[in-house]
Structure 1
Amino acid sequence: MSTLDELTAMMPPSSRDGGPPVPWEELEASWGVPFPSDYRAFIATYGAGAIEDYLVILEPEPWEAQRIGDGMSPETKNARKGWDVESTKAFSVVSPPVLIAWGVDASADILCWDASGAVPEEWPVLVWKRGSHEWRRHECGMVEFLRRTLQGELDSNPLGDAALWQKQRAKFLSTEEEDRLLDEGIDPWE
């Protein structure tokens, strides 16, 4: 069983159709790197959206996307600023990581890849816990990080709230499904 299969058993997608098609080649040209295959598979299976109305998995978008609010490009800029300010407390590094944000949560944490390496499948997850101004490195990919968080298999809760920690089963709603339910006057998280 793949890690994505394990995750979907714990957190079923909100749609059997998965996410909308993504122009990966265009996006990767914009960022200058390919995206990890587990993220691509997650987006194909789930689409962008939220887990337990707490953690938002960001929609893939061009690097310089002109967007107000949350988005992969603006959150990456926020993470890079946070690294510049806080990195001396977290790590002693010769050169800073190449951060790319893939998630944000209701605690204002930013979840990123360290895209410094040449092989995207080997990029670790870095989490900036804004409340404590702390960076934590996790030697796994995005899907494995989510699975380990839900199972409670990391050293400690990596996020600013226990909403997902050791949850075992979680609800995921794609952005489209959440919007559809809201338009129908239904609270999607009830």
Structure 2
Amino acid sequence: MNQAIATKRRTGPFETLLDYEERSLAHVAGRPEMIEAPGHWRGVGFRLGQRRLVASFDEVVEILPLPAVTPVPGAQPWMLGVANVRGNLVPVVDLKLFLEGERTIVHEGQRVLVVRQAGGNVAVIIDELFGQRTFNDSHRAGAEGLDDGRYAYFVSQAYRLAEHTWGVFSMTLLTRTPEFRQATT
């Protein structure tokens, strides 16, 4: 009888959870987005104007609803101002206005991509968010039409998936561009 009680104690809820934890830790393979798969590339898909673009996960810190923006006097028109993001002041840029000269129409549910840059993050407004996109080498395509005008410096490759071509947009190059870094008039 004592052995039955001891067995029952070892299989209680807490012990069961400990067993689950031990077994799951023994088989950790890593988060799917952290696993390197040869020939695969993942990024955050978004739209600017008529272009479907994708930025590397390494370049996008987070995706947020458009925060309240305080204008900065003397800033370029594409520099909308600064926003308080969890106690940090983050510049907010209208990316379409910077690249195309056309202001983004702000709507409810508007999203910004928070991007790494030297000296702190910057938030860029996009027209539409598509979320994670995964491509493989067989999806590679020419970037024609996605790499014209001011986009030429930031889009060097593309992927074709179903009926859409996605240009790989380099946020790193964007944040290193002297014009982007000089947001005052």
Larger radius of gyration: 2
TM-score (norm 1): 0.26
Structure whose residues are more often helix by fraction: 1
Structure whose residues are more often strand by fraction: 2
